[in-house]
Amino acid sequence: MFSKVLVANRGEIAVRVMRALDELGIPSVAVYSEADRESQHVRRAAEAYLLGPGPAAESYLNVDKLMEVIEASGAEAVHPGYGFLAENAAFAQRLEEAGITFIGPPASAIEAMGSKTRARELMKNAGVPIVPGTTDPVPDVEQARKIAEDIGYPIAVKAAGGGGGKGFRVALEPDKLEEAFEGAAREGEKFFSDATVYLERYLPDPRHVEVQVLADKHGNVVHLGERDCSIQRRHQKLIEESPAPQVDDDLRAKIGEIAVEAARAVKYHSAGTIEGLLQDGEYFFLEMNTRVQVEHCVTEETTGVDIVREQIRIAAGEELSFGQADIRWHGHAIECRINAEEAAKNFAPAPGTISSYFEPAGPGVRVDSGVLAGSEITPLYDPMIAKLIVWDADRELATKRMLRALDEFQIEGVRTLIPFHKAIMASEQWANGETCRDLIEDRKWLKELAQPKPEAPAEDEAETVERDYLVEVSGKRFEVKVRGDAVAPVANGAGPAARPAPRRERKSGGGGGGGGDTLTSPLQGNVFKVLVEQGAEVEEGALICIIEAMKMENEITAHKAGKVEELPISEGAAVTAGDTLAVIK
Ligand code: MV4
């Protein structure tokens, strides 16, 4: 087993991996950006190294710096979590060349599955059912027209470098094909530097069903059953559950075998997920995620298998300690992603400082999070601050338990998706096992979920004579205790004793406006689209512009009804948090 493992990630998944390492008796090494000095993942690691400034490109994605830190720390292996470098074949390759173990699949499998056309070709040849369509890239619209006639409309046009819905367009009829083709190609070029697209038959009302697999380096492959992740908004999953409402034991065995075949076809090892669409009892391969996923927890709850621990054991060369016949499924698990977002305002990011924080507990409740009271939610990273997972004997009981746990979950200072999840869990659609797509798109329904403006954190009160300080020596983090006379309070003490940061004026989040008539940007990014003109009359909640940040499109909506008097933005322009986007009077 490894003597030391570096976790190349942040937030809840870094904490999750460190928990597994702790149980295995392996010291963990954290890495962090300047924005994450006070973060939970840094505090709980045995040692921690600074990577660089807040933006991910200068810290969590900085491979040269990471390689330096890996060497300095003496770590023998790296766990990448999800996101950042988790599906970067070049990084996996570089680790291998440096003699460091990547806790994940072989670089060749990441690469094979990274190209969606290549993945489709491989899967087809392995006898895995794929959504009907092309396995070769489609060079131009003319070719696309011919192929589309054969497949039949509606047609899905997808970017080959894509995945998770990026570069995904639908053409309902031949007239719309050109627009869909160019849109998918443009997005593919923008996000993956690859304008290659392919075509699929568009399935009208599928379920997103994915299968968890585990494969070791000795040729053993098992599946841990499926998860239903159909509740998504703009291809971002919001709620996941296992088992899937539409999957019975026979279908589970069938799609499980499909997933095992898919993993074998790319000589996979580690944990992985086969994503697919389920339509009228028929299962089609979509893509493979070659990482541990956000929603792996619901599978852990129903099978009792610690997926992250297995990943680490597999990477160390150990054999799976169980076979397919040993896997038993119990009860029902549901996961709600607790994002710092405001559902009532088009799911706009809602950054800020958590002023008070209380997690639910009790039977069947699990919270995976990376925050505490005092944590700052920065617009630099993923808005997911915690995952709430519940388990109970069946779906109905698990739903009641989720509602109870959501009620217990108290987060103040930032707006979150808790009210949204409560409303979904209480809905008839959820009870019926529907995808709730209409609810998520329903502006009126969402508007009912508006939350009051968060209160600013309380002022610092009593002075202390003992204080924890954080020092960095040559980029390595140490915590020191300083005793002495009380001095003027520091902005942020290190260590678990740190109190919330003193009151600070916060830029309002989520396109919520800067107060009065001014609509300010809640985040830093580039103006992708402007959807109104100066002088236009707008309703409250109307789409004003789309700001692209960290490859995500953020819809900014009017904070009030009125006339757009000023509109000092243009497409392509850079904006920072607090910039005026529009003045509405
Ligand atoms: C599809 C589809 C229909 N037909 N592909 C791709 C990424 C993932 N986020 C969902 N994706 C879809 N791919 C074809 N050929 C519909 C979706 C889809 C979806 C599927 C199931 C449940 C919810 C969904 C929400 C959006 C898109």
Asked whether the predicted pLDDT for residue 492 surpasses 80, the reply is: no
For 525-536, what is each residue's pLDDT tens digit?
Answer: 999 999 999 999
Q: What local confidence, expressed as pLDDT, does residue 236 receive?
A: 94
Provide the pLDDT for residue 456: 58
Residue minimizing CA distance to atom 19 of ligand 1: 208
Q: Which ligand 1 atom is at minimum distance from the Cα of 204?
A: 3
> What is the DSSP-derived secondary structure letter of residue 130?
B
Q: What angle do CA 113, 116, 119 make, to 5 degrees?
A: 50
Choose one of 203, 208, 275, 293 to mutate for the ligand 1 pocket test, by most ligand atoms within 8 angstroms of C-beta: 208
* φ and ψ at residue 105, rounded to 5 degrees: -75, 170
Question: Residue 211 and residue 257: Cα distance in Å, rounded?
Answer: 10
User: What band does 464 get if pLDDT is binned at 50, 70 and 90?
Assistant: low
Q: Indicate whether 331 pLDDT > 70.
A: yes
What rounded mean pLDDT belongs to the chain? 92
User: Residue 252 corresponds to which tokens in the numbers above?
Assistant: 């589970």
> Can you tell me the distance from the alpha carbon of 104 to that of 79, in angstroms, rounded to the nearest whole number?
7
The predicted structure's pLDDT at residue 494: 41
In whole angstroms, what is the distance from residue 369 CA to residue 361 CA?
Answer: 13
State in Å: Cα 17 to ligand 1 middle. 30
Of 283, 270, 372, 349, residue with least CA distance to 317: 270
Element (H, E) at 207: strand 207-215
Q: Is the CB of 167 under 6 A from ligand 1?
A: no
Distance 292 CA to ligand 1 centre (A): 21
Q: 18 in ligand 1 pocket by Cβ < 6 Å?
A: no
CA of 275 to the centre of ligand 1 (A): 10
Is the beta carbon of 202 within 6 A of some atom in ligand 1?
yes
Secondary-structure percent of the chain, ordered helix, strand, coil, rounded to 5: 30, 30, 40
Percent of the chain at pLDDT exceeding 70: 93
User: What burial class does residue 504 get, using C-beta atoms within 10 Å of its C-beta: 0-12 exposed, 13-18 middle, 19+ buried?
Assistant: exposed
Which segment of 213-227, 439-453, 481-495 scores lowest on mean pLDDT? 481-495
Distance 43 CA to ligand 1 centre (A): 39
DSSP string, 151-179: H-SSEEEEEEEEETTEEEEEESSGGGHHH
Res. 551: pLDDT tops 90: no
- CA dist., res. 396 & res. 415, Å (int): 28
Helix (H) or strand (E) holding 350: none
CA-closest candidate to residue 80, choices 89, 71, 162: 89
CA distance 323 to 216: 11
pLDDT above 80 (res 565): yes
Closest Cα to atom 14 of ligand 1: 202
pLDDT bracket for residue 184 (50, 70, 90): very high
Structure tokens at 502: 């003193």
* Distance from the alpha carbon of residue 172 to the mean position of ligand 1, in angstroms: 14
Distance, in Å, from the CA atom of 400 to the CA atom of 398, rounded to the nearest integer, reads: 5
Q: Is 435 in the pocket of ligand 1 (CB under 6 A)?
A: yes
pLDDT score for 500: 44
| Ligand 1 pocket, residue 425 CB under 6 Å | no
pLDDT digits (tens, 9 = 90+) for 4-20: 999 999 999 999 999 99
Give the residue, out of 153, 277, 279, 439, with the most ligand 1 atoms within 8 A of its beta carbon, to mutate for a pocket test.
Answer: 277
Residues 92, 104 contacting (CB under 8 angstroms): yes
Which stretches of 35-188 are assigned E, i.e. beta strand?
Answer: 47-52, 77-79, 101-102, 155-163, 166-171
For the range 415-418, what are the long-range contacts, defined as Cβ-Cβ under 8 Å and sequence gap of 24 or more?
Answer: 415/340, 415/341, 415/342, 415/350, 415/352, 415/451, 415/454, 415/509, 415/510, 416/338, 416/339, 416/340, 416/341, 416/350, 416/385, 417/238, 417/336, 417/337, 417/338, 417/339, 417/341, 417/343, 417/347, 418/338
Pick the closest to residue 340 from 202, 457, 510 (CA basis). Answer: 510
CB atoms closer than 10 angstroms to residue 436: 22
Rounded to the nearest whole angstrom, what is the distance from the C-alpha of residue 132 to the centroid of ligand 1? 14
Q: What is the pLDDT of residue 549?
A: 84
Question: Is the distance from the beta carbon of residue 206 to the nearest atom of ligand 1 less than 6 Å?
Answer: yes
Q: How far is the CA of 208 from the centre of ligand 1 (A)?
A: 7
The phi, psi pair for 439, rounded to 5°, reads: -65, -45
Ligand 1 mean position to 130 CA, how many Å?
Answer: 13
Query: Measuring CA to CA, which residue among 227, 208, 399, 400 is closest to residue 303?
Result: 227
* Pocket-testing residue among 134, 207, 235, ligand 1, by greatest number of atoms within 8 A of Cβ: 235
Pocket of ligand 1 contains residue 156 by CB under 6 Å:
yes
Give the tens place of pLDDT for each residue, 219-267: 999 999 999 999 999 999 999 999 999 999 999 999 999 999 999 999 9
Say if residues 7 and 69 touch (Cβ distance below 8 Å).
no
Mean pLDDT, residues 12-39: 97
Token reading at 90 = 């070049």
Ligand 1: which residue has its CA nearest to atom 22? 230
Residue 454 has pLDDT above 60, yes or no: yes
Please report the pLDDT score of residue 524 as a whole number.
87
The listed range with the strongest mean pLDDT (182-186, 335-339, 479-483, 573-577) is 335-339
Q: Contact 514/581 with Cβ under 8 angstroms?
A: no
pLDDT value at position 479? 87
Distances in Å between the alpha carbon of 346 and those of 235, 301, 417, 443, 446? 14, 31, 11, 8, 8
**3-state class (DSSP) for residue 468:** strand
| Most ligand 1 atoms within 8 A of CB, residue of 157, 158, 168 to mutate | 168
Q: How confident is the model at residue 285 (pLDDT cuts 50, 70, 90)?
A: very high
The closest residue, in CA terms, to atom 7 on ligand 1 is 165
End-to-end Cα distance, the chain: 65
Nearest Cα to 155, choosing from 187, 123, 132?
Answer: 132
Residue 457 pLDDT > 60: no
Q: Does 284 contact ligand 1 (Cβ within 6 A)?
A: no
